[in-house]
Structure 1
Amino acid sequence: MRVITCIATEHNLWLVLLAAFMCVVGCGVTLGLFQRATKTAGLQRRGWLFLTAVAAGSSVWCTHFIAMLAYVPGVPITFDPFLTMMSLLIAMVGSGAGFALATNDRLHLAPEVGGALVGASLSAMHFTGMAAYHMAGIVEWDAGHVTASIVIAVVFSALAVGQAVRRPRRWSLHAGIGILVLAIVGLHFTAMAALMVEPISFISAGTNPEILEAMAVAVLVVGLIIAAAGFASHLIDEDVRVESFERLQHLALNDTLTGLPNRMYFSDHLDHEIGRADDDTRIAVIVIDLDRFKEINDLRGHAAGDEALKTVGRRLNRLLRDGEFAARLGGDEFAAVKRFKDQKELLELVERLETALFEPLQVEDFELTTGASIGVAVYPHDGTDRERLVGNADLAMYRAKADVSRAVCFYEPGMDEAARDRRALANDLRQAIERGELALHYQVQTSVPTGEIRGYEALLRWKHPERGMIPPAEFIPVAEENGSILAIGEWVLRTACRQAAAWDNTHKIAVNLSPVQFAHVDLARLVHEVLLETGLAPKRLELELTESTIIADKARTLHALRRIKALGVTVAIDDFGTGYSSLDTLRSFPFDKIKLDRSFMADVERSPQAKAIIRAVLTLGRSLEIPVLAEGVETQMQLSILQVEGCNEAQGYLLGRPRPIDEIDLAEAADDGAAAEPVFAAGQRRYG
């Protein structure tokens, strides 16, 4: 009752309302800044704590000063300027120390202890300010009320700071503001209730009450300006934080090169579409892989490749309509999502995609039609979750890539079986060497003019324990995909050299190399080690590689080939005539032999064009002084044509079938002058 009476009868209520307004605004800004400080660290936290201390000290001091001006003691009053300024300094420093302590993560009760320190500093500020408040009378203090005011300030401040730190929710902040207001109001008016003044009649000089009211308004304005500055800092930081978050979110969800959504965004969008699909809605997942993108990188560089990807991205972005979504998954792989009810809508989108992707790309002065392989899977028929849909669309895309007659392939259940069979084959292939399932067969290479044996080509064979003989064209691509080609290639090289070293003649042994070996193995070092280990003369080893091996990484491959030739090993280019840069390949590296692809021999008897190409290659070989070996010789007529045209060497079923090492002598006798036999399935280019 004493406190209530003090407020009602001994204060100017208008100024009390101004003080209350200042208190609420100041507490709101203070705890808002303090919460921001708790979410930062290092120098940034120190900056926010400084702003918190300034806002807390100035707003509480202004509240206290306006409330003191509202007090009507009934006697003249004056102010001590030094103690008045000292009380402001105490409020700022003390509250800053308390809030800093409250952010100490190593102290269990740091928020409460720090809040208590804030309350203590507010009490010190109040009584220092009261010491600066000089009244013309005898002043007495009630110890009980003084103690109660300090306890109120310490306890309620501790609760307010603890509320702001331990429960960082919006309503918790509001509760903390309310508790801190109670701490300040309780401190001030309980302490004022402890004050009793006995007037001294002979002192009449004091400050004009009108001036005091003007001072109160001025202090309020200054306090609000300081609080507004703190609040503005909070808003600016919040705006910058939101902008930074949006920018980072855009970078996280969008491809920086094309501007299209990235794989993460694509996954989230597809999950969202599946989640909102009803019984009448279907979701199509379309996976797109550019067909000739690598050619752009190889011929024009990665900058041109990036420009091509940007062009494709812009085209995809332009063709999208309502319910359609496109993203770049990585590299030259893109994807689209279509929500539809009528199959015609999906087919119409696929048609638009084909048109956009098969339109020529203009990169600087270079124009190229890349084309694309497109795979489509539809929810819910082809899968009910994202992983299954994308996986099935991938399977369809690979089917389209393997089939040159079509660019778009829809998923079919049989593709799963083919994929599982391919994975099982890959698993068995990894263990084929350990189980002794691999073997080498040798096919003779002879001189066309004389018929004498010049060497043998080592051809890889795999006898599966359950499937029997598996064609190289079937298992070699699988080995290259899963990386087992490295171990297999080393085994082929080592085995061929060891067996050839045991022969009683000096015939050459030709071994095929995979592009993967050049990309992942120090091939020159491996060849050197194998030659030393087996004792085979370097001049008896001939390594064969296709043009695609060189195009994959020209600089790296040519460097490795030069190191291999330095060992004394010869190098032949295989399947010549099937690549798109044969002449440039011959110019870039001095090959020891050109192997003419078997496809030309198959048509030479009935195709003048094939005969003309063979004649041109042989003429080129003579000009460059590089011997030419023709593969796939199966008839006497083909051999006669090669003799007339001046071919150096030949290889094929007419001259000798591939045989195991222990049957080579028998094979030579049996095949001498034998009639032609049907050719094996195409694909015995690498390792057979």
Structure 2
Amino acid sequence: MQRFGWVFLTSVAAGATIWCTHFVAMLAFEAKAPVQLDPVLTIGSLIVAVVGSFAGFSVAAWRSDRALPAIGGALFGGAISAMHFMGMAAYRVQGAVSWDMGYVVASVACACVFAGAALAVLRSLSLPRHRVALGTVLIVVAIATLHFVAMTAMNIRPMMGSDLALEAEEARALALATALIGLLVIASGVFAAMIDRQTRSDAMQRLHHMAMNDALTGLPNRVGFQGELDRQIAAARTTGGRIGLCAIDLDRFKEINDVHGHKAGDDVLVLLAERMRQAIGPNDMVARLGGDEFVAITRFTDRAQLVAFAALLEATLKAPLSLGQFDARLGASIGVAVFPDDAGDAEALTNNADLAMYRAKCESAPGPCHYDSELDEAIRERREIANDLRRAIEHDELDVHYQVQASIATREVTGYEALLRWTHPERGAIPPSVFIPIAEENGLILSLGEWVLRRACFDAMRWDHQSRVAVNVSALQLAHADLPRLFHQVMLDSGLPPRRLEIELTETAIMANRERALHILRQIKALGVGVALDDFGTGYSSLETLRVFPFDKIKLDRFFTSELEGSPQATAIIRAVLALGKSLAIPVLAEGIETDEQLSVLIREGCDEVQGFLLGHPAPMPVTGAIGATPAADEKVGALERAA
């Protein structure tokens, strides 16, 4: 529609002005005989000029084709030729008019050739600087050659005059009116183009502002901040100045959203943004990166200026807020990095300020934290490990090893605990004690737990024996309401019977939200999945938890088994736990069995199951083979036989 509108406007301007040019020139022509103008043909010639121009311009602007502009220009030349000769037909002279057909054909040919060349030049990309001027000249040449060559083709032999002839004063008035109409049309086209250009300029300014500024607070957004930081660093390199960057993360902002709603949270962000905008100097900048994250840039010469700037931001953000319906006091964690002291480019400066801010948040620092390479490198490494772990989950680059669990009474393997292992392509083997907390900090534990669950269930289905597989569940997983549905879906996908699956969780995980956790555990147990209480003897060790929830197994923490050989107290505690398990009809499994002496004590005390390096280290599980069908399995069972 825009193309149609512009072609129509161009056609009206071109057709009307060419028509005006023709008739002003015709009125200036001295025919030596009385002249009249036919109004119907006169108006008809104007319509022909406009419609013909529209057809020619439409063809020329249709698509990117080298031939179409020339064809459209030829149509345009034919239109102005038709307008000219229809106008001449409206020019009624009291005399005999004859035409020289050679000049007529030459005039039409000149109009079509020069107009075709004009539009071809205007659509050409090889003349970006001069095509408008050259195209304009060619259009003028087309019109001028048409008019003068066609007028040369006309011969007039005057006859007797008429009282109805057009008087000289009338001719001048008509010429003036026609010229004014042409000027009005031209002016209309020029002003339409100017208005369009201004409208486009205003729209581009609005779009640029929207692209560079945050819609909620009006502060520069991430793109605007990055551009300003690049400019500031470039200027600092030239002048030898220093740039301070403060990364800001609001404290307790989530509470505002949870308690008062997101509208109140937006009001808080707007108010804090306005406070920071008013607090900083004219050469400083504050931007919102998203959510409750802000950044501020300042130029300084003395380190004390930067310290004062960060302190001003902190005081501004800690000041009480009054929003009518409620009052609040937030605060912020602020990390500070300096160019060129802490980083040599914008990306490194931003990352270092972010690391310092993260340290301030983790340590609940009372004030802004300045970047420290030694302290913040550990945070950087943990972030890199988190990114690599996310990629490892997506690309199935993890592995699961299995550690045997055996019954003391029957000397048979009863199950295997699935233990996640990760061999980093550059860092080598990373222990679970390192990457599991990182997964929890970075929101990866749910996807990681699902990956382990699926892998363990599908592996267990490939075994040719019916041993259980035990999978650990963290507190964050247990807090997720969809955990029972996930277990159900994975068992459907893998085909593993629920009786062959067991989850292990610590009492600490349960006590994080006791009622919710027990509700989820009851749903999982209702599926037929076993539930084991892991690391019993440490943490809460609440008898109330054992009373409320019927666990399928108690796993005694390895700390007590490691003390069996030299600590009567450890033996007494194990004896008490075993007695508790028997009274509640809950089997007890002792972890961390590494010596024959430890195993002998447990057999003597009546422990139900054992697990540890003595029976076997965690290793990839063989796909086939019954219990005792491999040397490793024989060794595991043999350890139980020797202890017995």
Shared fold per TM-score greater than 0.5: yes
In the alignment, the residues of structure 1 paired with residue 195 and residue 518 of structure 2 have an alpha-carbon distance, to the nearest angstrom, of 59
More deviation, 242-251/54-63? 242-251
Find 1:512's aligned residue among 470, 473, 476.
473
What is the match of residue 486 of structure 2?
523
Q: Which AA in structure 2 matches 1:389?
A: L
The SS at the match of 2:282 is: coil
Between 297-306 and 57-66, report the one with greater CA deviation: 297-306
Equivalent position to 1:274, from 233, 236, 252: 233
In structure 1, what is the equivalent of residue 451 of structure 2?
487
Q: Contact 1:287/1:374 (CA < 8 Å) preserved in 2?
A: yes
Partners of 2:507 and 2:454 lie apart in 1 by: 15
TM norm structure 1: 0.67
* Mapped contact 2:298–2:306 kept (Cα < 8 A): yes
SS of 1:405's partner is coil
- Aligned counterpart for 1:59 among listed residues 2, 17, 23: 17
8 Å contact kept, 1:489–1:513:
no
Q: Which amino acid aligns with 2:6?
A: W
Aligned twin of 1:296: 256
- The CA deviation string for residues 514-533 of structure 1, in whole angstroms up to 9 with x for no partner, is 53684897534257569973
Aligned-pair CA distance for 1:130: 0.9
Q: Distance in 1 between matches of 2:177 and 2:318?
A: 75
Contact 2:499 2:528 in 1 (8 A): no
- Unaligned ranges ≥5, structure 1: 1-42, 443-457, 504-508, 576-594, 602-616, 650-654, 673-688
Equivalent position to 2:215, from 256, 264, 282? 256
Pairing partner for 1:162 from 120, 127, 131: 120
Match of 1:184 in 2: 143
Structure 1 partner of 2:189: 230
Select 1:127's aligned residue among 85, 88, 91. Answer: 85
SS of residue in 2 equivalent to 1:659: coil
Counterpart pick for 1:284 among 238, 241, 244: 244
CA distance 1:526–1:83, change in 2 (3 Å): closer
In structure 2, do the counterparts of structure 1 residues 433 and 86 end up closer, same or farther at CA, with 3 Å as the change threshold? closer
Q: Who is 2:98 aligned against? A: 140
Distance 2:320 2:454 in 1: 42
Task: Indicate conservation of the 8 Å contact 2:422/2:431, yes or no.
Answer: no
1:682 equivalent in structure 2: none
Aligned to 1:375: 335
Task: Say whether 1:153 aligns with 2:111.
Answer: yes
Select which of 491, 499, 519 maps to 1:536: 499
Aligned partner of 1:195: which letter?
A: M
Whole-angstrom CA distance in 2 between matches of 1:200 and 1:153: 32
* Amino acid across the alignment from 2:496: E
Q: CA deviation at 1:388?
A: 2.0
Change in 2 beyond 3 A, CA 1:105/1:427: closer
Aligned to 2:628: none
Pair 1:96-2:96 in alignment: no
Amino acid corresponding to residue 55 of structure 1 in structure 2: A
Provide the C-alpha distance between the structure 1 equivalents of 2:298 and 2:333, rounded to a whole number of angstroms: 18
- The CA deviation string for residues 407-444 of structure 1, in whole angstroms up to 9 with x for no partner, is 532223333465347635875895999887866799xx
Q: Secondary structure at the match of 2:190?
A: helix
Counterpart-to-counterpart distance in 2, 1:350 and 1:573: 49
Matched, 1:207 2:186: no
Deviation at residue 488 of structure 1 after TM alignment: 4.1
Please say if residues 400 and 456 of structure 2, whose CA atoms lie closer than 8 Å, have aligned partners that are also in contact. Answer: no
Amino acid at match of 1:112: A
- Partner SS, residue 294 of structure 1: helix
Q: Is 1:331 the equivalent of 2:302?
A: no
The Cα of 1:124 is off from its aligned counterpart by 1.2
Return the alpha-carbon distance in structure 1 between the equivalents of residues 144 and 287 of structure 2: 59
Matched AA of 1:316: M
The residue number in structure 2 matching 1:312 is 272
Which of 431, 436, 449 is residue 476 of structure 1 equivalent to?
436
Change (3 A) 1:199 1:520: farther
1:250-296 superposed Cα distances (whole Å, 9 cap, x missing partner): 22222222222211212222222222322421222322223433333
Answer whether contact 2:244 2:339 (CA < 8 A) is retained: yes
Instruction: Give a deviation string over 1:644-679, Cα, whole Å, max 9, x none.
Output: xxx999xxxxx999525998973974999xxxxxxx
Aligned length: 565
Report the Cα offset of residue 385 of structure 1. 2.5
Structure 2 distance, partners of 1:530, 1:144, is 89
| Residue 72 of structure 2 is aligned to residue 114 of structure 1 | yes
Whether contact under 8 Å (1:493, 1:530) holds in the other structure is no
2:393 is aligned with 1:393:
no
Q: 1:263 to 1:115 in 2, by over 3 A?
A: same
Seen in structure 2, the aligned counterparts of structure 1 residues 349 and 54 have a Cα distance that, compared at 3 Å, is same
Correspondence for 1:659: 592
SS of corresponding position for 2:496 = helix
The answer (yes or no) to whether the contact 1:441–1:660 under 8 Å persists in 2 is no
Q: Are residues 331 and 198 of structure 1, via their aligned partners in 2, closer, same or farther at CA, if it must alter by over 3 Å?
A: same
In structure 2, the residue matched to 1:675 is none
- Equivalent residue for 1:240, pick from 189, 199, 202: 199
**How far off its partner does 1:122 sit?**
0.5
Decide whether the 8 Å contact of 2:104 with 2:149 is kept in 1.
Answer: yes
Deviations, residues 6-63 of structure 1 (Å, cap 9, x unaligned): xxxxxxxxxxxxxxxxxxxxxxxxxxxxxxxxxxxxx222222222222221111111
* Deviations, residues 55-92 of structure 1 (Å, cap 9, x unaligned): 22111111111111111122211112222122112111
- Residue in structure 2 matching 1:321, options 281, 285, 288: 281
Q: What is the match of residue 33 of structure 1?
A: none
More displaced 10-residue stretch of structure 1: 90-99 or 528-537: 528-537
SS at match of 2:285: strand
CA change 1:323–1:485 in 2 (3 A) is: farther
What residue ranges of structure 2 are gaps of 5+ in the alignment?
Answer: 406-416, 561-566, 583-587, 606-644
Could you say if the C-alpha distance between residues 100 and 656 of structure 1 is closer, same or farther in structure 2, counting changes exceeding 3 Å? closer
* Pair 372,496 (structure 1): closer, same or farther in 2 beyond 3 Å: farther
Matched, 1:86 2:47: no
Secondary structure of 2:372's partner? Answer: coil
CA distance in 1: counterparts of 2:521 and 2:54, whole angstroms: 72
Task: Check 1:302–1:82 CA distance in 2 against 1; reply closer, same or farther (3 A cut).
Answer: same
Seen in structure 2, the aligned counterparts of structure 1 residues 496 and 204 have a Cα distance that, compared at 3 Å, is closer
- Residue in 2 that maps onto 1:35: none
- The aligned amino acid for 1:140 is S
1:75 aligned to 2:75?
no
Question: Is the contact between residue 398 and residue 420 of structure 2 (CA under 8 Å) also seen in structure 1?
Answer: no
Is contact 1:54–1:92 with CA below 8 Å preserved after alignment? yes
Residue type at the aligned position of 2:486: L
Letter in 2 for 1:273: Q
Inter-partner Cα distance in structure 2 for 1:661 and 1:47: 87
Report the equivalent of 2:409. Answer: none
RMSD: 5.2
Letter matched to residue 72 of structure 1: E
Deviates most, 113-122 or 79-88: 79-88
Counterpart-to-counterpart distance in 1, 2:510 and 2:331: 19
CA contact (8 A) 2:110 2:142 kept: yes
Q: Distance in 2 between matches of 1:344 and 1:128?
A: 86
Q: Write the letter of the residue equivalent to 2:209.
A: H
- For 1:81-123, what per-residue CA distance to the aligned partner results, in whole angstroms no more than 9, with x for missing partners? 2221221121111111000000121532212221121111111
Q: Which residue of 1 aligns with 2:619?
A: none
CA distance 1:369–1:492, shift in 2 (3 Å): farther
**Cα separation, partners in 2 of 1:202 and 1:222, compared to 1, 3 Å:** closer
Amino-acid identity (%): 37
* Matched letter for residue 264 of structure 1: V
Question: Displacement, 1:200?
Answer: 2.3
> How far apart are 1:492 and its partner, in Å?
7.9
Over 3 Å counting, the alpha-carbon distance change for 1:436 and 1:63 in structure 2 is closer
